[in-house]
Amino acid sequence: MTPDVTIIGAGLAGLTLARVLHVHGIPATVYEAEASPMARAQGGMLDIHDYNGRLALRAAGLTDEFRSLVLEGRQATRILDRDGTVLFEEADDGTGGRPEVQRGELRRILLDSLPAGTVRWGHKVSGVRPVGGGRHEVAFADGTVVVTSLLVGADGAWSRIRPLLSDAVPEYTGRSFVETYLFDSDTRHPAASKAVGGGSLFALAPGKGIQAHRERGDTLHTYVALTEPRDWFAAIDFTDATAAAARISREFDGWAPELTALITDSDTPLVPRPLYALPIGHRWDRVPGVTLLGDAAHLAAPNGEGANLAMYDGAELGRALAAHPGDTEAALAEYEQAMFPRGAEAAAEGAQLHELLFGADTPHGLLDVFTEDEQTP
């Protein structure tokens, strides 16, 4: 028999694991720090890849639900020069293999697919210790405690479970994103709306860039990338929305106004998102009764794979546990053996992608990738 599984974190990794276990009749409980599913905006669009995220959703039996979320036309791509000249443009012809969905909606179908009570909201892990025989005592901030048979850390970048397995700590990558939103853009921000087009926009220069997505409705969601130390961002008062927008847009002096409008016309205060990563190739020796999934295991600078890998890890661990009903350790070993190189490969490719986007040769390297793709039959 597979013991009850205790999962820490109701992100995409933990919820996919819980769902795949449920499909196989294995009970799981998910402990989540946030007070409710609505506690935090889940923002952002994710392109879900046919080689990992979609396989996970199929293992979860949620392919139809996923399809109903796909935002048509959002795989279109534009690359603009700083002066607004269009350097590359590709329409969404429906063959891209990377359909786009809203993260919050994806999380919702996973939550809705679990038996009531599976997720225990408002349970923030404050400490964890081994108590022998592969069991662990998990303490929560509200003073409650559980003892686990199988403990899975799906608690993201700053995992409280990771120290049971490794001493690794995420390090600042040297780059941050600053997040903005423009709502009702077709009517309220038409020039920016036109610049972004139907899907994604990239406007890049060495060390910096403006990346925007058209989300559900005509919301424009932008990540402004800047390669600056944490102190540089700390010196900006982000509680003063106007001053912060002025300071960030100064880094784009001389850029086309329809591009800088994505910063200065934000309908929400700018939010800095410092980017951290674990060492590429992060791994550990097998420790009985505990493992990690998703960002907890292989946090990398955003590269379009993190959420996909998180779901895939969840599905793969669920599959391995179902395949080894009497032998949890065999399941964990099998899962980790495949997960370590998978995470390392994605992180290494992600580092290359950041070099392509923000390195000295940008935007030409990115343009080459897109034009080569177009020429490939």
Ligand X SMILES: Cc1cc2nc3c(=O)[nH]c(=O)nc-3n(C[C@H](O)[C@H](O)[C@H](O)COP(=O)(O)OP(=O)(O)OC[C@H]3O[C@@H](n4cnc5c(N)ncnc54)[C@H](O)[C@@H]3O)c2cc1C
Mask of contacts with ligand X, 28-57, x by CB under 6 A? ---xxxx---------x-x-----------
The answer to the question of whether 40 is labelled as a binding residue is yes
Q: Which of 82, 160, 221, 247 binds ligand X (CB under 6 A)?
A: 160
Nearer to ligand X, 256 or 296 (CB): 296
Q: Which of 2, 6, 7, 11 binds ligand X (CB under 6 A)?
A: 11
Determine phi and psi for 127, rounding to 5 degrees.
-165, 160
- Which residues are paired to 132 by β-bridges? 135
Nearer to ligand X, 173 or 264 (CB): 173
Tokens 């694991």 belong to 17
Q: Does 321 bind ligand X (CB under 6 A)?
A: no
Mask of contacts with ligand X, 208-227, x by CB under 6 A? ---------------x----
Nearer to ligand X, 49 or 319 (CB): 49
The answer to the question of whether 295 is labelled as a binding residue is yes
**Shortest gap between Cβ of 125 and ligand X (angstroms)?**
4
The answer to the question of whether 250 is labelled as a binding residue is no
Rg for the chain, CA atoms, rounded: 21
Q: Does 202 bind ligand X (CB under 6 A)?
A: no
CA distance linking residue 259 with residue 253, whole number of Å: 11
CA distance linking residue 139 with residue 288, whole number of Å: 19
Q: Quick one: which of 314, 334, 289 has its CA closest to 3?
A: 289
CA distance linking residue 220 with residue 135, whole number of Å: 47
CA distance linking residue 10 with residue 31, whole number of Å: 7
Q: Quick one: which of 325, 206, 210 has its CA closest to 266?
A: 210
Q: Does 77 bind ligand X (CB under 6 A)?
A: no
Confirm if 221 and 212 have CB atoms less than 8 A apart.
yes
CA dihedral 196, 201, 202, 208 (to 10 degrees): 60
**Shortest gap between Cβ of 140 and ligand X (angstroms)?**
8
Confirm if 214 and 220 have CB atoms less than 8 A apart.
yes
Q: Does 197 bind ligand X (CB under 6 A)?
A: no
Confirm if 66 and 74 have CB atoms less than 8 A apart.
no
Q: Does 302 bind ligand X (CB under 6 A)?
A: yes
The answer to the question of whether 93 is labelled as a binding residue is no
Q: Does 90 bind ligand X (CB under 6 A)?
A: no
Q: Quick one: which of 102, 42, 43 has its CA closest to 69?
A: 102
Q: Does 294 bind ligand X (CB under 6 A)?
A: yes
Binding region for ligand X (CB under 6 A) out of 73-81, 154-162, 249-257, 323-331: 154-162
Footprint of ligand X on this chain (CB under 6 A)? 8-14, 31-34, 44, 46, 124-125, 154-156, 160, 177, 223, 273, 294-296, 302, 304-308, 310
Q: Point out the annotated binding site for FAD.
A: 47, 103, 295
